[in-house]
Chains A and B, each alone.
Chain A
Amino acid sequence: SSELTQDPAVSVALGQTVRITCQGDSLRNHDASWYQQKPGQAPVVVIYGNNKRPSGIPDRISGSSSGNTASLTITGAQAEDEADYYCNARDNSGYQFVFGTGTKVTVL
């Protein structure tokens, strides 16, 4: 199965911009989704189809993808954006899913 690799942790000053990346071979052929998980809570999808936002997700959160890398960008980070973020995509077979290793975002 495929692997999706993320940086373990990043920090961002309040109001500044942070980008999280997710790397994996399967991303060349399959779109990525991103999930936000706050302590003690279930994950919530914030981006799907590489760059689409579900209703209710603020537009400061955006996604993109190029080659084997998917990215999540938070523009003007707020305190409530502090969370763990996981990417997800199908693996090379197309029949399985795989989660990224996760990135902890700290808002300073």
Chain B
Amino acid sequence: QVQLVQSGAEVKKPGASVKVSCKASGYTFTSYGISWVRQAPGQGLEWMGWISAYNGNTNYAQKLQGRVTMTTDTSTSTAYMELRSLRSDDTAVYYCARGDAGGDYWGQGTLVTVSS
């Protein structure tokens, strides 16, 4: 069965970077892209960007351009999302999802807390 398993919770200081992983199984990794979506505490869903697992092409939300990088490792069927220059308003649960938008399978989420 399709599964996306994400890395564990992180606590970071303002200005630091975080890298969240998303390990896929149960399907051919390179046949689908991976989207990243975040959810601030008590808030709605925000699409962050997408990466093609086939060729590594990316498309990022404009507000995160320059701070976010999405990559994949096809040898381990793992996608990564790195966010730099963290601010307090980056505190959120970060989800990976299979597909370019509106993914059909989602990871369990990774809580990233940014606090001094």
Same complex origin of A and B? no
Please report A residues at the B interface, Cβ cutoff 8 Å.
none
Please report B residues at the A interface, Cβ cutoff 8 Å.
none
